[in-house]
A and B are shown apart, each in its own frame.
Chain A
Amino acid sequence: MAGEADRTGGMLRELAADGSALFGAVALALLVAMAVLAPLISPYDPAEQVLRDRLLPPVWQAKGVWAHLLGTDHLGRDMLSRVIWGSRVSLMVGLTVVLLAGAFGVLVGLAAGYYGGRVDAALMRFVDTVLAFPSLLLALIILAVVGPSMGSVIAVLALTNWMVFARVTRSVVLSARQLPYVEAAEMVGGRPGRVIFRHILPNLVSPLLTLAILEFANVVLAEAALSFLGLGIQPPASSWGLDVAAGKDYLFIAWWPVTLPGVALAITVLAMNLVASWVRITSDPQEREKRFARVVAASKRRAAARPTPAE
């Protein structure tokens, strides 16, 4: 137990040493807290319309009022409350899609990589064919037929995003199978299921974790784009993409209904990208070594440059 706590402490110290990763992690933690606590911290009901208070600017502008810190939209709904509730949709869709697409993709990749031969060829042929599909168009036609809703958005995004998990899993499994301890486990008669889950799967943790965070960011962007087009989350629910679309018609008289939900989206995706790149480097011993070498080289360069600052 003590060792576990020590390791966590070491990880946190390492995270704190990297400025941009720390920013990403803190932003992400705040975001999750915001989504979970939305009913408690949101000052208004996000769908409540007060037409008298339409298009109030944020508080720091000339006509802003303290009752609506970030102003109101064209229906008099509180922007702050809508931004807070929007985080729920983004994170929920992102999480569900990554879990669904990840689970399916990993299973396909494990099967292809472990069994090899014909199974591998057939599965990868299938993956390549799906990858060659213009996926957004497929999404459009499915949404046109099924009708937009949160469920259909999740289904469509999972259907169009699992292939990359299969690819990555397969390539890691292929190289892991060559490892002596995996071969030994097979030789002593380990059942395929046991070999796969007990010995091969741990090798996948690092690449899959990075991939899952990156895909999460992509899915958040895709959900926002679909909602923006009117094919995703439907009113009266709140989604950042939906809010940008609603504010678009008032762009010439009010900047905040379009800008604020977009800022929230951009911070979310940026935070995920920063955390993903930190996880990738930290969980890979080779990359860690490179990072260490870079830090040492940079400090040596600085030390060497100090005597002649004019150069």
Chain B
Amino acid sequence: MGRLVAVRLWHGLIVIVAVTVTVFVVTRLISNPVDVMLPLEASAADRAAFAAALGLDRSIPVQFLDYVNGLARLDLGTSLWQDRPALTIVMEHLPITLLLVVSSVVFAILVALPLGAIAARRPGGGVDRVTVILSLVALSVPQFWLGLLLILLFAVTLGLLPSAGAGSAAHLVLPALTLAIPTMTRLIMVTRSQMIDELNAQYVRTLEAKGMSAWRVVAVHAGRNAAVPVLTLASWEFVRIFAGYTVVVETVFAWPGLGRLALQAIERQDLVLVQAVVLVIAVIVVVFNVLVDFAYMAIDPRIRLE
């Protein structure tokens, strides 16, 4: 057990180091950051002064040491766009994104588990067929477009909900729903197939034979066994939303979180800020993955014994 924990922590550390090095390589070596950040018409003197101010005129190894040294002191540089420490800006936007991500994942789980279980009760039946077809359609729809369609329906046509911004519970509904729908469909599919397998198992027949109610069988016995793969997918979905889909959905709904910040930083050629967003998200994802693995060890004795 202790060895396994150590191995997981070590692998997490490798990923963090790999991300840090990749970010450095991409931003410094593939192209010249001065060209990316300064406008085309900047003079040679401007360029030299800018490079000197950011320390970009030194050799690559020295720059790398300086970069790692900064990371160790939690100094991710100063944003050129906002002229403030990049880490401070990122930390301001982080809770706003987390609110959106957590509410959409929780909502997806709360809808998907019962729906998946109901569909699994009668595979091939009416509810099941409708669920499967709707899931397939929902997975084929581009997310940004789904968001715009929701705006068209709820904000433009019905006038029920605000189309953009943040600040109230009503603002949260449409972006959270847009983020939740693909996640929900994938969760429904997995819950359904896991439950079909479990409900065909011998122990379920025994429970039914001794007269246990259908709901108790599903909720207490079969459901618990189906839970581990479903939880795996749910944690994976959390990462996908947090480190991916939020960029698109936050842009559609002008939600002032990390994803939109990253995009704005790219548009303003602020490499320092882009880099800070990527590093912070990568660290959170790695830590989250390690915690999920620890949770498995606590839940499933088979994993502990390996």
Which A residues are within 8 Å of any B CB, using their own CB?
A: 128-129, 132-138, 140-146, 217, 221, 224-225, 228-231, 241, 244, 248, 251-252, 255, 258-259, 262, 265-267, 269-270, 273-274, 294, 298
The answer to whether the Cβ of B131 comes within 8 Å of any Cβ in the partner chain is no
Assembly CA distance A141 to B276 (angstroms): 11
Which residue from chain B places its CB closest to the CB of A134 in the assembled complex?
B243
Whether B251 contacts A229 by the Cβ 8 Å rule is yes
How many CB-defined contacts (below 8 Å) exist between A and B? 131
B278 and A231 within 8 A (CB): no
Is B144 positioned at the interface, with any CB of A under 8 Å from its CB?
A: yes
- Shortest CB distance A74–B (Å): 15
Number of interface residues of B (CB under 8 A): 51
Q: Which of B148, B248, B281 contacts A248 (CB 8 A)?
A: B148
Q: Which of B14, B248, B266 contacts A129 (CB 8 A)?
A: B14
Q: Could you pull out 9 A-B pairs where Cβ atoms are within 8 angstroms?
A: A140-B274, A146-B30, A217-B140, A221-B143, A251-B156, A252-B156, A259-B149, A273-B140, A294-B124
CB neighbours of B281 from chain A (8 A): 134, 137
CA distance A60 to B191 in the complex (A): 43
A137–B140 CB distance below 8 A: no
The answer to whether B156 and A140 touch across the interface, beta carbons within 8 angstroms, is no
**Residue B286 lies at the interface, judged by CB distance under 8 Å to chain A:** yes
Q: Which residues of B contact A (CB under 8 A)?
A: 11, 14-15, 18-19, 22-23, 26-27, 30-31, 33, 36, 124, 136-137, 139-145, 148-149, 151-152, 156, 239, 243-244, 247-248, 251-252, 262-263, 265-267, 269, 271, 274-275, 277-278, 281-282, 285-286, 289
On whether the beta carbons of A262 and B142 are closer than 8 Å, the reply is: yes
> Out of B137, B141, B282, which one reaches A137, CB within 8 Å?
B282
Inter-subunit contact A225/B143 (CB<8 Å) = yes
B26, B137, B248: the one contacting A141 at CB < 8 Å is B26
* B141: chain A residues within 8 A (beta carbon): 262, 265-266, 269
Q: How far is the CB of A154 from chain B (nearest CB, A)?
A: 16
A134 and B31 form a contact (CB under 8 A): no
